Amino acid sequence: FEGPGSVEDTFCLSWVVSEEAWGVRREVELVPGGADIPVTEGNREQYVAALVDYHLNSSVAWQYEAFSHGFRMLCDGPVLKLLRPQELERLVCGNPHLDFEALQRNAKYEAGYTATTPVIVWLWEMVQHELPLDEQKRFLKFFTGTDRSPIGGLGTLRCLIQRDGPDSTKLPTSHTCFNTLLLPEYSSRPKLARQLRTAVNNAEGFGLE
């Protein structure tokens, strides 16, 4: 902007936030007397900083305090002070990297399946190389009850794939409490892909979000 009055004339703003809650609109002053302070070329950076602080901190202060109180009731201790924010996030949210090769290396098979059974080979190839990330997460949730990797990675999970009868129209099922996938021995890769996608994309459960 050029000219001393360009910001004020263009935006016609004051140091006030207008927001709506439960159908009621209200105005909140970012600083005392903010309704009477125009946003100008000289104070626009301070205005933006105050606006960001309001939206990220002040406006959610009581919700954050309630969350912080509950979190510290469960997790507070001297070890918490040793963690960086990124490390704490990893502990709470899990590892964002989904290493299905590690999960495959740790997988066990029962009821006639082995690592070289065709339907098992097709399954891992499909999961690792054909499914987009959102479907990989849905598959992991279908299999284990959560779409997140534990802190040590997927290689730390004990998972089991059991043969659920010969080729049929049955969909794959799972026991998420035991990380167990029940998989019919489908006769072709396209049929496996169709049945698996139908199962994981339409599954509802009580897993961890």
Q: Where are the domains of the chain?
A: 6-82, 100-201
User: Could you identify the residue written with the tokens 């302070």?
Assistant: 37
Q: How far apart are CA 16 and CA 184, in angstroms?
A: 62
| CATH for 6-82, options being 1.20.120.790, 3.30.2160.10, 1.10.10.10, 3.30.70.260 | 3.30.2160.10
| Residues noted as catalytic | 177
Q: Which residues of the chain have pLDDT under 50?
A: 1, 207-209
Percent above pLDDT 90 for the chain: 15
Of 108, 106, 196, nearest in space to 149 by CA: 106
**3 state SS for the chain:** CCCCCHHHHHHCCECEEEEEECCEEEEEECCCCHHHCECCCCCHHHHHHHHHHHHHCHHHHHHHHHHHHHHHHHHCCHHHHHCCHHHHHHHHHCECCCCHHHHHHHCEEECCCCCCCHHHHHHHHHHHHCCCHHHHHHHHHHHHCECCECCCCHHHCCCEEEECCCCCCCCCEEEHHHCEEEECCCCCHHHHHHHHHHHHHCCCCCCEC
Which residue, among 185, 204, 197, 201, has the nearest Cα to 126 in the 3D structure?
197
- Cβ proximity of 115 and 109 under 8 Å: yes
Looking at residue 120, what is its pLDDT? 92
C-alpha count within 13 angstroms, C-beta hemisphere, residue 183: 34
Question: What is the pLDDT at residue 5?
Answer: 55
The amino acid that residue 113 corresponds to is Y
Q: What is the domain class of 100-201 according to CATH?
A: alpha beta
Closest CA to 185 of 101, 119, 97: 119
The strand pairing partners of 29, in sequence order, are 16
Bridge partners, 183 (sequence order): 163
Per-residue pLDDT tens digits for 159-180: 899 898 888 888 988 888 888 8
Give the N- to C-terminal CA distance of the chain in Å, as an integer.
Answer: 46
Residue-level pLDDT at 52:
93
- The predicted model scores a pTM of 0.57
Mean pLDDT of the chain: 83
Question: Which tens digit of pLDDT belongs to each residue from 48-85?
Answer: 999 999 989 988 899 989 988 888 877 777 777 777 88
